Amino acid sequence: MEQKKDFLRLVVDRHPSASPVRGIYLITDDGARLVERVTQALASGVKLLQYRRKAGASGEILSTGLQLKRQCAEAGATFIVNDDLALARALDADGLHLGQEDGNPQEARRELGQQKIIGISTHNLAEALKAEADGADYIGFGAMFPTGSKEISHLAGPEAIPAIKAQVKIPLVAIGGIDRDNGSRVLDNGADALAVISAILGSRDPGLAAAELALLFNRREPYPRGSVLTIAGSDSGGGAGIQADLKTVTLLGTYGASAMTALTAQNTRGVTAIHGVPAAFLSQQLDAVLSDIPVDVIKTGMLFSGENIGIIADKLLQYGRRIVVIDPVMLAKGGAELIDRKALTLFKDRLLPAAYLLTPNIPEAEKLTGCTIHNEDDMCRAAEILHRLGAGNVLIKGGHLAEGTAVDILFDGKDFSRYPVPRILTKNTHGTGCTLASAIAAFLAQGEPLPQAIAAAKGFITIAIKLAQPLGKGHGPVNHYMAAQQVRCRQGAPHQE
């Protein structure tokens, strides 16, 4: 009998690891097209939805709630009603969230049923301990940061989370001003879920905003952390292409998969032959990977043909991949053309608008925009043009300029960010573009927000160039191995066993 009692206790254990209260916790707003926006977010990683309505006719509130509940069921997400016991009962919601003045969790559980999830908003340790003692399944805790949605009277901040987590054993949902760029601080301090409103529903693309936030949770996973699919050509010399991509991703601690677009006969002196992969076989490779392996980030390099570009664009839509790093490889280090004019037009029409991040060097940016780039101002103008063509974020690499400092410039549609590093005088730069884009993809897959992922990748490629050793008779490859060793040591990441 004792064994049976222990078994039953484990089944109803409310420990965070057994709770569905983990991941992105989306709270609804009162804006237009709510169901459409929520549906996009659910498809990109939202795990819990809290239905909150401040005004409206009761029939319309109920109708919208039924639509949202259905969308949550299809997405496998938890549907919670905010502060309205009668509405939660009418909708047969998965749970109810209560404010400090909105009722007792025990009463709510009696009304809704023992299996329903009950949450309570808290602002300090005393309130959190009381919520747990009263039988809550989770607490909302905040505010983390100032927010424009309402006036903040309790600004706890992320640094207050560890003290709560040390004494309260139910999941903690952090709330208040959380977005892509500060969410990592909240997670690193121990939050189990991130509650957001405008960071997703206020975005022009709620699905993409949700995908960005969902990736942050990978920062807590064991190594290899996250996964990257590289779609590129093979470099027989091993310094660039798929070989460089897989070296970079693996050495930085992320799982790497690949789909090949072309084979090249290539060494440090250049490309002597190219054998394209049939588009149908590329399609089979992509289906094989994307139908089985949970890919976090896709990185593209040499695409070779218009047919390949069309296949890739179709597969991104089919599998709903949103975080795509596109390195528009057009010229080999030795000057060989790697894409024809027809394919370039198709690239701009079909694939460039799918880019979460586009990473052209200056010659590639000139070819894509028709502009001549002589300085940083020209780089900024080119980045704006590429953003207008559809790229979500644009990182133009300034290594081809003559200044003593090599500056890359990121444009996110609103602001410019500079990433300057001292120029390293060496001819051993084969594979730098592939390696940088793959490193960005790996850091994104590991849960770094885009600005930090770029900064970390810049640090990695700079070390790799600095430590490059002469190999071959032309442009030698960068030193992936030693650069990864130094980066991992600086991060304090454990070596993989």
312 and 420, same domain (yes or no): yes
28 and 77, same domain (yes or no): yes
pLDDT in tens, 456-478: 999 999 999 999 988 999 898 99
Report the CATH number at residue 393. 3.40.1190.20
> Which of the following is catalytic: 256, 301, 431, 476?
431
Counted domains in the chain: 2
Checking if the pLDDT of 325 tops 50, the result is yes
For residue 490, the model assigns a pLDDT of: 74
How far, in Å, CA of 145 to CA of 167, rounded?
23
434 is catalytic: yes
198 and 297, same domain (yes or no): no
433 is catalytic: yes
- Helices assigned H by DSSP within 323-449: 341-346, 362-369, 376-388, 432-445
Comparing C-alpha atoms, which of 76, 209, 182 is closest to residue 174?
A: 182
pLDDT in tens, 435-452: 999 999 999 999 999 999
**Does residue 5 fall inside a structural domain?**
no
397 is catalytic: yes
For 327, the token pair is: 């390195």
Question: Tokens 């496998």 appear where?
Answer: 76
140 is catalytic: no
Express as a percent the part of the chain with pLDDT over 90.
Answer: 80
Query: Rounded to an integer, what is the distance from CA 264 to the centroid of its chain?
Result: 31
Give the HSE-up count for residue 164: Cα atoms under 13 Å, Cβ half-sphere.
32
How far, in Å, CA of 346 to CA of 308, rounded?
10
> What does the pLDDT average to over 74-91?
96
Q: Is the peptide bond before 143 cis (omega within 30 degrees of 0)?
A: yes
How far, in Å, CA of 265 to CA of 110, rounded?
71
> Which of the following is catalytic: 65, 434, 447, 462?
434
Q: Residue 115 class from Cβ within 10 Å (0-12 exposed, 13-18 middle, 19+ buried)?
A: exposed
187 and 305, same domain (yes or no): no
247 and 169, same domain (yes or no): no
> Which of the following is catalytic: 433, 447, 462, 476?
433
Report the CATH number at residue 30. 3.20.20.70
234 and 183, same domain (yes or no): no
158 and 268, same domain (yes or no): no
What is the edge-to-edge ordering of all strands in the sheet holding 255-267? Answer: 270-276, 255-267, 227-235, 297-300, 324-326, 357-358, 393-396, 405-411, 416-422
In the listed set 197, 219, 241, which residue is the last one of a domain according to the structure?
219
Q: Which domain holds residue 135?
A: 11-219
- Calculate Rg over the CA atoms of the chain: 25
**Does residue 6 fall inside a structural domain?**
no
Query: Residue type for 445, please?
Result: A
Residue 17 banded pLDDT, cuts 50, 70, 90: low
Residue 334 banded pLDDT, cuts 50, 70, 90: low
**Does residue 1 fall inside a structural domain?**
no
298 and 442, same domain (yes or no): yes
350 and 325, same domain (yes or no): yes
> Which of the following is catalytic: 116, 315, 397, 458?
397
In the listed set 180, 201, 219, which residue is the last one of a domain according to the structure?
219
> Which of the following is catalytic: 261, 432, 435, 462?
432
> Which of the following is catalytic: 359, 369, 429, 462?
429
304 and 438, same domain (yes or no): yes
**Does residue 91 fall inside a structural domain?**
yes
194 and 106, same domain (yes or no): yes
127 and 16, same domain (yes or no): yes
